[in-house]
Amino acid sequence: MVEYPMPNGYELTYEAVRPKLKACDFPDAALRLGLDLISPSRMEADFLGRRYEISKTGVRPLDGFPVNPNSLSVLVYYAASRGNAKPGSDFRLLHNFAGPIFTGSGNQWMTSSLAQRYSSDYPGFCAAAKVLGFLPLEKTKRGEFSWRGPVLPCIPVQIAYFEADEEFPCEIKIYYDKSVSDYLEFEPLAVLTGCIAGALKIY
């Protein structure tokens, strides 16, 4: 298992959001968010190929291995959300969920290293996507392959892999159903994007 670096800033962010769990109604959250209720004060969730325990005091991976604190923060935000929207199939890039001040373009800056990793290795990308629970969609365009799957029960994600050609390098894009804004605000959603890209690179 890969050991993750633990940057102080990410750890501090997790410690800052962790208290959100104290006020969380776990039975209600488990029902709305599709999490496994173990007891009135404990839930479990599968997230990017690993299983986590969520309690009133925080989040921990059940396999005991080191974890990126950003993954813990995302799980706190999800468990503490009041989301209740039904996911559909209207997928959009990250910047579509930002306010008017944000000037980024999609999530290319987060996935550029991922595209470099799999630029000439689509089979490797396929293997990583399958490990994380994504399934391939029917190919509709030459050189473009799409995969879809839930990273959390109410957050479906679509990933598009664009093969390199004579004009453009390989590109990978991550899309979220529009209902995701009912569960995560833009900042934790951006963190989730980094977690997905990181997990795909590891596997």
- pLDDT tens sequence across 159-170: 999 999 888 999
Quote the number of domains for the chain.
Answer: 2
d(CA 189, CA 176): 9
**Confidence class for position 202, pLDDT limits 50, 70, 90:** confident
Domain shared by 75 and 101, yes or no: no
Domain shared by 76 and 95, yes or no: no
Give the torsion sign (CA, 161, 185, 86, 67).
positive
pLDDT at res. 69: 96
> Is pLDDT of 183 > 80?
yes
d(CA 192, CA 157): 11
Give the torsion sign (CA, 55, 62, 127, 36).
negative
Domain shared by 116 and 195, yes or no: yes
Domain shared by 72 and 120, yes or no: no
**65, burial (CB in 10 Å: exposed 0-12, middle 13-18, buried 19+):** exposed
The torsion angles phi and psi of 171, rounded to 5 degrees, stand at: -140, 140
Domain shared by 97 and 140, yes or no: yes
Q: Is residue 86 part of a domain?
A: no
d(CA 111, CA 2): 20
Query: What is the number of H-type helices and E-type strands within the chain?
Result: 6, 9
- If you ran DSSP here, which 8-state letter would residue 166 be given? S
pLDDT at res. 107: 61
pLDDT at res. 199: 96
Domain shared by 76 and 33, yes or no: yes
d(CA 120, CA 117): 8
For residues 156 and 149, the answer to whether their CB atoms sit within 8 Å is yes
Residue 38, domain extent: 8-80
Nearest to 189 by CA among 117, 54, 95: 95
Hey, how many other C-beta atoms are within 10 angstroms of the C-beta on 30?
A: 22
Q: Is residue 60 part of a domain?
A: yes
d(CA 47, CA 155): 11
